[in-house]
Each structure stands twice: as C-alpha cells, then as structure tokens.
Structure 1
C-alpha cells in the first residue's frame, strides 16, 4: 500500500460503551486516530487491527523466499494484492 491509498498502521482495537454489546469494538489508526471500522465483534476487530502487521509480514516473506513459484507463494502474492487493491499475482502472467 502506498501512502495516500490507505491509513497506515499500526491500528488499535478499542472497546466502546459498557461492554454489554458484543459489537462494541472500533479499530482506529495509532497516530491520527482515524476510525478504520466500528460496530465490530472482538474477533473481527482483532483481525482488522492486525492487518497492517500481517501485510508487513507477508511482504517480508516474499523478500525472504524470493521468486519461488508455488501454490503457497501464489497465495501470499494474492493476499498482498488484495490488501493493496491490485491485480493478483498469477504465477508469472
């Protein structure tokens, strides 16, 4: 993701209200406190809040693994492309 196309991480999960509603979670950016998503369950908020860290880890895996063509590498590149709203990797296509 390039700057300007997304709200850069890290993102935080915050519980609002008194905790009586299962969908009381909001995800915000760390620095600007921009609301990324709200009205979430705890598991959904945790997954969304971890997205910037997961994308960073996947990019590092691509660098570490290199140009290896495999189903797993295709899945990693497809996940990165989905996160970046780009055309998915098609195994050299």
Structure 2
C-alpha cells in the first residue's frame, strides 16, 4: 500500500452545528492540505429541513464518503411516564 493516501474516518454527533464542522474538517483534509481520503459517519436525526439540506449538499460534493447510521431505538428504555428535560433559553435580562 505504499503511496496510497491516508484515510480519515470522522464521526459526527447529531446536530447541525456538529455536522457542518465535521463536513468542513473533512473538506479541509481532502482538499486543502493533507490529501486524505475521508469517510464521514453521522446519525441523521431528520428533525430539520436545514439538516437534510446540509447533508444532501455535502453528498453532492463527492469529496468524501458519507455513511448515514440509523438512529438508535430506545423505545425499550423509556415509557409513557418518562420525563424529558431540555435546556430552555430565555431573554430575561
């Protein structure tokens, strides 16, 4: 395998901010400096049209391989009584 390109595998956490950052890192490795091959693994949450658009745009570049992993099924870990807590933002000054 002498002379072959190094290959980076990048994994993106769910979320648009993570996706964009990982795609940019992949592009940087492939094009700008290091002449890598890259594979990007991601878990698409399909929760926003913007996320889907970013993924489709990255796929159309054909710079790297993109592997979309299915979301994890956690239905056996939660029930109707499970409470989900998420941070809220307020503009109270």
Higher helix share: 1
Task: Check whether TM > 0.5.
Answer: no
The structure with more radius of gyration: 2
Normalising by structure 2, report the TM-score: 0.26
Normalising by structure 1, report the TM-score: 0.26
> Bigger relative contact order, structure 1 or 2, given CA contacts below 8 A and separation 6+?
2
